[in-house]
Amino acid sequence: MTNETPAASSYKSPHWDIFCVVVDNYGDIGVTWRLAKQLAAEYQIEINLWVDDLNSFSHILPELDKTLSQQQFFGVNIFKWNKPLDIPYRPGSVLIEAFACELPSQVLSTIDELHQESKTNFEQSINTASKPPVWLNLEYLSAEDWVDGCHGLPSMQASGINKHFYFPGFTSKSGGLICESDLFNQRDKWQSSPSNKLALFKKLGLIGIEANDIVISVFSYETLALTALCNYWANIEVQNNSEQTAIHALIPLGKSLASIESLISTPLNKIKAGQQFTVGNLTIHILPMTAQTQFDRLLWSCDFNIVRGEDSFLRAQWAAKPFIWHIYPQEDDYHLVKLQAFVNIYCLNLEDDAANAWSKTNFAFNQQESNVVEHWQQLICAQSALQQHAKHWPIDAKKDADLASRLVEFVKTS
């Protein structure tokens, strides 16, 4: 294949391009893949998704062939983003760089050529559809106040083209949140019968989980707070109708396991998906990697979810179950500022005792505090209020429009 790009105007078409650099394995590709699928399915937009790491991508899309330069799933064209590009870039009507990834030089030179053509045609009063795509930088999700003021702002590039900053967020002035149109209906149908979660657990090779057992999914970074909680779960007796209730922690291969290596006395490089370890009242199940749809159902099936990153953080909210958000650590503890911003909005309509317990548990987990167990105990006492709030929160958070619909409207008016 060649990386040469023919005249830009001869390739202009209505499709959208999304470029994604895979960072931290699954977060960035998780977000862009969900967005690409929704735009293709609900808006019949032809989407070209350019991804630099098909190996990591294949963990959430198992059908993906890591050796192919081009393939299609769910109506989305997936291109391997080699550097330089070995597939000709064909400019479309929209160009999205996800999370400030650096676009290939071929792409930048092509849209610059289109921009120069459109200027020339305008000056010569030539009627032509040749113009550069609407250029957007899809930013990370944040609940901070400044997001509303920055969402949609243009930034003039050296070529003279405007690039707009698109900020997902929790207010009507932001870019909204990724949420498929039928997601809540699917979730409610799934959660209406315990047989669905038990069937999923069996499919994932999770043995010994009963319908009334407590099931907690864990997808976190390494933290001593998780060590403390697992020790606590292993040594407590949870009373349910005067009978001890077993606790199951579902943990995938990866960073979370480093926190509990001492409990299971097995070297991390010896642990495989499908294994389970029983420590007192706690059974630790090692999860296989799952596709996105199956991951959603896993979150729907657990009593509590501990998640990290942007994609899992939002899907835990849509699961309508209580959760802890383990946010990626940043310099000068700025991640705690982001956490506080979300805590402020999430707790607005939550009764004081439950809000206090949920907030303190989240901060203790993120600061690796040993008193996370104390806060967890208070959290469990507020479980009823937390569950009721978790059920209503998705409706309030989505408001009147999701990210995809706001994005389509933004493009129309740009």
For the annotated catalytic residues, the residue numbers are: 28, 310
As a dihedral over the C-alpha atoms of residue 216, residue 183, residue 34, residue 296, rounded to 10 degrees, the angle is: 20
Listing DSSP states for 341-407 in one string gives HHHHHHTTTS-HHHHHHHHHHHHHHHTT-TTHHHHHHHHHHTHHHHHHHHHHHHHHHHTT--HHHHH
Phi/psi for 17 (5° steps) reads: -110, 135
Quick check: bond before 84 cis, omega within 30? yes
**Residue 347: which of 357, 333, 336, 337 has the closest Cα?**
357
Q: Is the dihedral of CA 226, 227, 230, 236 positive or negative?
A: negative
Can you state the percent helix, strand and coil of the chain, rounding each to 5? 45, 20, 40
Do you know the residue count of the chain?
414
The strands making up 304-308's β-sheet, listed across from edge to edge, are: 276-279, 282-287, 247-252, 214-218, 304-308, 323-326
Angle between helices 352-366 and 372-381 (to 10 degrees): 150
